[in-house]
Structure 1
Amino acid sequence: MMRIPVIGALVLAAWAVLGAQRVEAEPPAMQVYKSATCGCCRKWVEHLRSRGYTVTVSDVQDLRPVKHELGVPSGASSCHTAFVGGYFIEGHVPQEDISRLLAEHPDIAGLAVPGMPIGSPGMEGANPQAYSVFAVHKDGRITIFAEHRP
């Protein structure tokens, strides 16, 4: 007669253990370097924070030393630079692509969205543009990591 409560308790215990394994880990903390006067950079940071990222922001006078230290090629440059999980993030890279980068752990230096394409996170506006997120490889090659269409 005690079998049903014991079996029920075992099922609940198994469900609790297996359910706990499916909980996603929080993304690692991100450091962002930007100009103090850049409004779109603040919007990009809010895009990340609203999706669970912990972001520390440093306003700097000159981003060139930061970009050089992290290995951001000049042709991939944008208005802000971030560092997370051992990768640089240059420009208005969407959170989904950063999360994919951190989940897949490719052997690259970082991701970049050169320029400031309308429609990218932080650059919302009328007439959004298609844009690409580029993977910057450690050997200097640049390939497409993701493409976004309005």
Structure 2
Amino acid sequence: MHIADLTTASAKKTKDFLPFLQQKRLPAVVEYVLSGHRFYCFVPKEMCNIAFSFSGVRCPDRDEPLSDKTIALMRQKLMQRWKLLIELKLSWDSIWESKTNRTVTLLEAGLAKLQTSFGTDRIPDAHLLAQAEQSAKRQKLKIWENFVEGEEISTGPATDCWGVLLD
């Protein structure tokens, strides 16, 4: 039994797997939480390991406040769970457990911000994500503790699911 590690594979090998990974939601196991929104996953059906990142949200980086809490929450919710489904699309990646999008979990906890410059029209569940963020803002949770309504907060530059800056 050979497991392909697509995190270190050549571009050609990675492209060979892409059609199979983008078909639909696939069962996956999060083997390691790299940050609040980046994960190392095993996809049993395709016998491969991938690096995975939530699209359209920004979490605190490792050297920023609340980074530890974000990583701890994702480890608690996702690490070594066998009932996870990952969804890989050209413009939107998400992890589902039962019927819960785990991006919503981060936003509800006040540990992530939506990147509105990402283009909410490309996000299937944009309304749920916006509701989760608004709920955290109203409750002044974590990154929203000092938020003042009407004040502009930068959510970072917009990037696609491969980290390429969007115009």
Provide the TM-score with structure 2 as the length reference: 0.24
Q: Tell me which structure has the larger Cα radius of gyration.
A: 1
Provide the TM-score with structure 1 as the length reference: 0.25
